[in-house]
Amino acid sequence: MSPGVTLFQKCRALLCQRRSQVIRFYFLLYGTTFFLVLPLLCLDLRHSVYYFRLKSSNQEGIRLQRENDQRLAKTQQIIQMYAESLSKSNKSTPLLHSENIDVGITVVTVSRNRRYKGGYQPRHLTQGLGRLVDLINTSNTELKYGIFLCNVDGDPDSYHEAKSLNSTFTTFQKFKEKQTKFVDIFEKEKLDYIYCIEETLKRNASNVFMIEDDSYPHYDLFIVLEKVLKYDKQKEKLKTNNVTFIKFYHPERLLGYISLEMERLPELIAFGAVFGTVLTVLVMFCLFKESDQNVQLLWLLNVIYFSLLALAIGRVNLIELRRFSAHMYQFTQSPSCCTQAMLFPQDGAMSMVKHLKEVTCKTGYGKDTALEEIRRRGHYKALMVQPNLFIHTGLFSTVRQRMVNPYLLGK
């Protein structure tokens, strides 16, 4: 065999060996990550690709009830302490105000307790109100807040949870006695929403923060809220850049990368490209330093790796990292679904009320759809804050009239 042929064979053998090293490396990287590490780490992580495949509905129900009971135990004590402080002072404390306020927080409520079998009472209203009081009390807030309870239950006398809170919180009660006249559930929800907004505006609130009773605030709610409102101490007013409303909650199942929202796909690509580039540099300098490997191919494999990693973990879980600082929260155009927690500047609240009175809601056309249609038709500006600043805790949907998983449905 000639020396030239021998040299060629050696080069080809060396090249095949290096290619084999790359193949083995990425086979090991992909296999270990997606078939060993992530299944173990994401076993209990909601909204990862592994979670719901490994959890039965019965296990999920037990978990949700346990979480509910833990929240209730904490917030009941807070409500009791706040009520005692009010009775001792015999007047409103500086913690909350009843009029001429920067933000009027109105919790819209109907009874859900009577819907559960076996006498179980989740008491979502108590949880939400207790949490709001606690956060206002412990946050370094610069604004004047008022918390209002808006009871729109069709049988107010039987709604014992709301009645027990009337002496502690300023209450707007839409009905004085049990309603016998049937109204479409979607139209009723819209009319109730209008009533609660208008009652809050009567308190001369610069902003109306509408919260549904099964929405539980995150610890950083008021820190982020005041960043959103851009409080200007010198001018003593709130600047919201002509925004009609801002959503502080969107169903987690709709926050994934696979979505019609314009920012999601570029966000996924950017995640893969940034971390893929970092891994490419590390691989080239640490593993294949003297190799003549195709850098573009390695980069592509790494970008695909991190993109699949993001999809597997879930965008909902990854954006939780933004809670590190209030400055890291993301602001995007508001999607159409759901109204668990919405902030309306005074002008925006009045505009939306005016337009909502002109439409009729029905099955397939709820108030959230109506709001989005009004916004789009009038070219109003609406934003959404991400990650969510509320947890949806309701186990019974008042619109669907059935038990639901609050992490899957909007209301």
What per-residue string of b and e applies to 107-138 under the rule 16 or more CB within 10 Å gives b?
A: bbbbbbbebeeeeeebbbbbbbbbbbbbbbee
Sequence spans of domains, the chain: 18-52+257-313, 56-253+329-403
**230 φ, ψ (degrees, to nearest 5):** 55, 65
Radius of gyration of the chain measured on its C-alpha atoms: 27
What pLDDT is stored for residue 118 in this prediction? 61
Judge contact between 238 and 227, C-beta under 8 A: no
Is 152's pLDDT higher than 60?
yes
Between strands 341-345 and 396-397, the pairing is unpaired
Cβ neighbour number for residue 328 with a 10 Å cutoff: 12
Output the furthest CA–CA distance in the chain (Å, rounded): 106
The partner residues of 243 in beta bridges, in order of sequence, read 381
* 141 band by pLDDT with thresholds 50, 70 and 90: confident
The torsion angles phi and psi of 221, rounded to 5 degrees, stand at -55, -55
Coil, strand or helix: which one is 143?
coil
Note every long-range contact of 398-401, with CB atoms under 8 Å and residues 24 or more positions apart, other chains counting: 398/110, 398/112, 398/185, 398/189, 399/185, 399/186, 399/189, 399/366, 401/185
Contact 127, 121 (CB under 8 A): no
**Six-digit token pair at 69?**
């009971």
pLDDT digits (tens, 9 = 90+) for 153-175: 988 888 999 999 988 899 999 98
**pTM, entire model:** 0.85
Does the structure show a pLDDT above 70 at 313? yes
Mean pLDDT is lowest, of 49-53, 100-104, 268-272, 337-341, for 49-53
Tell me if the domain spanning 56-253+329-403 has CATH number 3.90.550.10: yes
DSSP label at 115? G
| pLDDT of residue 389 exceeding 90 | yes
- Asked if 126 contacts 160 with a C-beta cutoff of 8 angstroms, the reply is no
| SS3 (DSSP) at 325 | coil
What is the pLDDT at residue 15? 46
pLDDT given for residue 341 in this prediction: 95
Tokens 């992580």 sit on residue: 45
pLDDT for 112: 77
> Looking at the predicted structure, is the pLDDT value of residue 204 above 70?
yes
Short-list 403, 398, 393, CA closest to 67? 393
Q: What band does 187 get if pLDDT is binned at 50, 70 and 90?
A: very high
Half-sphere exposure of 111 (CA within 13 A, CB side): 20
Of 35-39, 66-70, 215-219, the least confident: 66-70
Compute the mean pLDDT over every residue in the chain, rounded to the nearest whole number: 83
pLDDT at residue 46, as a whole number: 83
What is residue 58's predicted lDDT score, i.e. its pLDDT?
65
Is pLDDT of 399 > 90? no
Contacts of 242 (CB under 8 A, 6+ apart): 381
Using an 8 Å Cβ cutoff, are 391 and 316 in contact? no
Which whole-number Å values give the CA distances from 356 to 5, 202, 361, in the listed order? 83, 18, 9
Chain segment 1-51, per-residue pLDDT in tens: 455 556 444 444 444 555 677 778 888 999 999 999 999 998 888 888 888
With pLDDT > 70 as the criterion, what percentage of the chain qualifies? 81
